[in-house]
Structure 1
Amino acid sequence: MEVKKSLIAVMIGLSLVLGSGITFAGMQIAEVRSSESVDSMDEEAVAVNGELEDGLKELEYIEKFSKAFDIILNSYYEEVEGNDLLEGAISGMLDSLGDPYSVYMDQETAQEFMESLDSSFEGIGAEVSMSDGRVTIMVPFRDSPAERAGLRTNDQILKVDGESVEGLALYDAVLKIRGEKGTTVTLTIERPGVSEPFDVDIIRDTIPIETVYSDIIEENGQTIGVIEITSFSQNTAVRFGEELSNLESQGIDGLIIDVRDNPGGLLQVVESIGSMVIPGGEPVLQIEDRAGEKGRRLSSLDETKPYPIVGLINEGSASASEILAAALNEAGNYELVGQTTFGKGTVQQTLDVGDGSEIKLTLFKWLTSAGNFINEEGVAPTIEVEQPEFFYVSPINTDEDLQLDMNNSHIATAQVILKGLGYDPQRSDGYFSKEMEEAVRQFQADMGIEVTGVIDSETADQLQQEVINAIQSREHDNQFKKAVEILTQ
């Protein structure tokens, strides 16, 4: 039988890697044949034989890949680069997993990814993932260009500067979105509940990675500490510990831990934070490998906190945020206020594949304290609270001025915003009535812009800015107010 040289080379390589296994397997097979019963085969021999079969099967895969690579490289009607074929093959393998979090990163992309873990980077400031083949906003960072431009969780990016990103790998799309501080990128957005895509212009900026914010509020004679975690980065656990100690030194009567719009981060960091607030001996989370083996990560807290805790969550809380939220409820028996979280229940690790390229690969499932797998389901709040309707509207499209007696969806959006800001237009059906004109006039007067009763681009921009201001303040934050109410009852 003719054996190709390439296959011979692979077989030689196999003998170098698995040589002792092959020899041992042969010895065991010989012993079995001299025995009276096949049932007496040693279990270890069965395992080694299984490994040998797996190795031979992998040889078949390698040989098939080698043939396909050789055919395309040498026979395609145009000359192609071997490295392009190789990187395409690796990307294709990862795409076949159907896992949006397992991706291939070439040298440039891997470098960009590592820079994003630094103390700052330049871009729009939003966490993205791939959902149904589309680049999707998981969450805009706090006080980022993305947030200021009105981007929301679950917004899908269709185009970057007029060019479609359909079919691009996630990190290739990210490279198009990111850029130097001061430059502008135009994103074409499709938003759930909005009938047509719309463009958003965003001025890129330096995005600082400050991940922990805290303050104290006084309510009904009680002192409530607030800690907001925006992501779980390298220094987040240290910063959380510092802020928690500072709050406790001021004698807080309760604590709010806010992980809304937090896209997650490093597993060991959320474990460390869990050990600062979850009762000692209780699991912060569980890890399950591909064989179904589970390991619990227990809190090492010495004493249960002497004050109640409430967690704040929403649909932008993902991954590590969900670990902490679930632990607060299941292990700490603390309330969770807000909306059901994003639903990411897997753990990834970056693995070097040579020449600076990396694979970010899902290696484990994580389970909640009680052993629940929340992937694509999320963590449900114990007390569900929605934010005001105007928190979720899209920016007003002003390709034309909106004025008296017009009727369209952009006017309906403006009506929701005006009502939410306290300028009631008396209707919500998209018709620009005299009452709405008066509401617009009052808004313009209060904002110090020309009073016309017409929503032009300046008025639309100001309406959007006021929405952002309202979202960032606590005056309209129903979820935060509910958490305070629970702690001060």
Structure 2
Amino acid sequence: MHNNKSKIIIAFFTVIVFLFGIYIGRTSTNIDYTLSLNENLPVSRNDFDIFWNVWRFVEENYAERDNLNKQAMIYGAISGLIKSLDDPYSIFFEPKDSQRFQEDVSGKFEGIGAEIGIRDEILTVIAPLKNTPAEKAGLKAGDKILKIGDTITNELTIDEAVNLIRGPGGTMIILTIMSDGTANNRDVSIMRDTINIPIVDLNYITKNNLKIAHFSLYHFTATASQEFGNKANEIIKNKADAVILDLRNNPGGFLEVANELASYFLEKDAIIAIEDFGNKKQEYRSLGINILGNLPMVILVNQGSASASEIMAGALRDNKNIKLIGETTFGKGSVQELQEFSGGASVKLTIAKWLTPKGISIKDEGLKPDIEIKLTDDDLKNNKDTQLNKAVETLSEMIKKN
């Protein structure tokens, strides 16, 4: 899993911060490119004279030239190269940031517990995680982050925003937030803490003599497969009549995990996702576990459903006409590849877009629900889950008709 070259399908960096997304493990050796000054590197298409001329100009004329940090200059140049792509999901990581990336994949770190991305060129909350400081402070999917402390966010990259928001447990961060449907900004003070990513939760709802499994999946982490499998077997053992798969505020995770979990509902070799590289396509297919495939089912989604959760929801709708209930999903439709380099630096680069089994791209558009139900502020204040209620009602009607 944690090899040197991985594919990622995720829009975001989390404020917790997850800097990972959906991965496909791939065996490869570390690329032995040394990120250091070397004027003898081969040049095939571009003339780097201006780069070396500027480099020498700085070396010879900068007021504090005796204190130049050559390695920092090189990393800055590489970072500028990646930023020139104007793609918020392509990032260069210096060794310290690359190490943090790997630590975040473990699923335990310090921060506020929310995932952020850039939507319409505005830093936006994708999903606050369950039982985290962000959720307790009232952050919601779709909230716009205008300031982090005293720093205006309109020109920040995701990684720069992450660095500002993340910090040791027990320290405070103030975010200036604008929520949808409100005219005024508000300052939200959040105490950072150690974050443990929640994975799954299973409860049962009784309605009209039906036992409905409310199966919540919060993230597609490396440990999700085992936990999901245990709960799936519990659903069968307890003879549930139907399943509500709740993917709300699920920001994504490992692609191979999404592929495996979707396989609990699909026959072998059903297409789960398609990678489109422009000149070729690659299909990801069901493993055929399918122990939940015969149960009536609906899926709950919202603005915080992104990446792997969109892949799973799209796969189940395209293959089995399973209804989506809630709100339009985030719309993360690109694929990134993580490449490590010697010295500890790494680059996360967008290499493709992904499509649903029917060949539909959800980039920027998201998955539109079959039944749209929006949670109002009054619903939230009164702890009323109208989306879940609609899911229960829909399943009851489906079973009654059949």
TM tier, smaller: 0.7 to 0.9
Structure 2 residue aligned with 1:337: 325
Structure 1 residue aligned with 2:240: 252
Distance in 2 of aligned mates of 1:277 and 1:259: 15
Name the structure with the higher strand share. Answer: 2
- State yes or no: 1:352 paired with 2:358: no
Structure 1 residue aligned with 2:93: 105
User: SS in structure 2 opposite 1:97?
Assistant: coil
Partners of 2:112 and 2:134 within 8 A in 1: yes
- State yes or no: 1:477 paired with 2:380: no
Q: CA deviation at 1:68?
A: 3.4
Distance in 2 of aligned mates of 1:62 and 1:353: 22
Identity of aligned residues (%): 35
Partners of 1:124 and 1:145 within 8 A in 2: yes
Partners of 1:73 and 1:82 within 8 A in 2: no
Distance in 2 of aligned mates of 1:168 and 1:114: 23
Distance in 1 of aligned mates of 2:325 and 2:272: 19
Structure 2 residue aligned with 1:82: 70
Q: Deviations over 1:363-394 (max 9, x none)?
A: 2211101111110010111111122x21xxxx
Paired residues in the alignment total 357
Query: Aligned ranges for residues 12-161 of structure 1 at < 5 Å?
Result: 14=42, 56-57=44-45, 60-79=46-65, 80-161=68-149
Residues 148 and 167 (structure 1), Cα distance of their counterparts in 2 relative to 1, 3 Å cut: same
Q: Deviations over 1:3-31 (max 9, x none)?
A: xxxxx963xx65xxxxxxxxxxxxxxxxx
Structure 2 residue aligned with 1:51: none
Query: Aligned ranges for residues 302-451 of structure 1 at < 5 Å?
Result: 305-387=293-375, 389-390=376-377, 420=378
Structure 1 residues 141-150 or 350-359, which shifts more? 350-359
Q: CA deviation at 1:302?
A: 5.4
Distance in 1 of aligned mates of 2:168 and 2:259: 35
Partners of 1:279 and 1:331 within 8 A in 2: no
Structure 2 residue aligned with 1:405: none
What amino acid does structure 2 have at the position aligned with 1:243? Answer: K
Q: Deviations over 1:321-351 (max 9, x none)?
A: 1101111110121111111110001122322
Which of 227, 231, 239 aligns to 2:227? It is: 239
Distance in 2 of aligned mates of 1:159 and 1:361: 27
Distance in 2 of aligned mates of 1:166 and 1:158: 7
Partners of 1:109 and 1:175 within 8 A in 2: no
Partners of 2:129 and 2:197 within 8 A in 1: no
Name the structure with the higher helix share. Answer: 1
Which structure has the larger Rg over C-alpha atoms?
Answer: 1
Structure 2 residue aligned with 1:277: 265
What amino acid does structure 2 have at the position aligned with 1:264? Answer: G
Distance in 2 of aligned mates of 1:359 and 1:173: 18
Structure 2 residue aligned with 1:445: none
Structure 2 residue aligned with 1:294: 281
Q: CA deviation at 1:188?
A: 1.6
Partners of 1:261 and 1:315 within 8 A in 2: yes
User: SS in structure 2 opposite 1:83?
Assistant: helix
Partners of 1:125 and 1:141 within 8 A in 2: yes
- State yes or no: 1:210 paired with 2:198: yes
Distance in 2 of aligned mates of 1:61 and 1:244: 58
Structure 1 residues 134-143 or 243-252, which shifts more? 134-143
Structure 2 residue aligned with 1:441: none
Distance in 1 of aligned mates of 2:177 and 2:289: 48
Structure 2 residue aligned with 1:457: none
Residues 196 and 229 (structure 1), Cα distance of their counterparts in 2 relative to 1, 3 Å cut: same
Distance in 1 of aligned mates of 2:322 and 2:122: 36
Structure 1 residue aligned with 2:173: 185
Which of 141, 145, 164 aligns to 2:152? It is: 164
Distance in 1 of aligned mates of 2:396 and 2:165: 44
Distance in 1 of aligned mates of 2:362 and 2:218: 21
User: SS in structure 1 opposite 2:264?
Assistant: helix
Distance in 1 of aligned mates of 2:82 and 2:128: 26
Distance in 2 of aligned mates of 1:200 and 1:172: 19
User: SS in structure 1 opposite 2:175?
Assistant: strand
Q: Deviations over 1:117-144 (max 9, x none)?
A: 2232111000112345543211111111
Residues 241 and 63 (structure 1), Cα distance of their counterparts in 2 relative to 1, 3 Å cut: farther
Structure 1 segments unaligned to the other structure (5+ residues): 1-7, 15-54, 391-419, 422-465
Structure 2 residue aligned with 1:228: 216
Distance in 2 of aligned mates of 1:274 and 1:320: 10
Q: TM-score, normalised by structure 2?
A: 0.82
User: SS in structure 2 opposite 1:116?
Assistant: helix
What amino acid does structure 2 have at the position aligned with 1:152? Answer: K
User: SS in structure 2 opposite 1:310?
Assistant: strand
Partners of 2:168 and 2:193 within 8 A in 1: yes
Q: CA deviation at 1:166?
A: 4.6
Greater RCO, CA 8 A, separation 6+: 2
Partners of 2:263 and 2:289 within 8 A in 1: no
Q: TM-score, normalised by structure 1?
A: 0.68
What amino acid does structure 2 have at the position aligned with 1:122? Answer: E
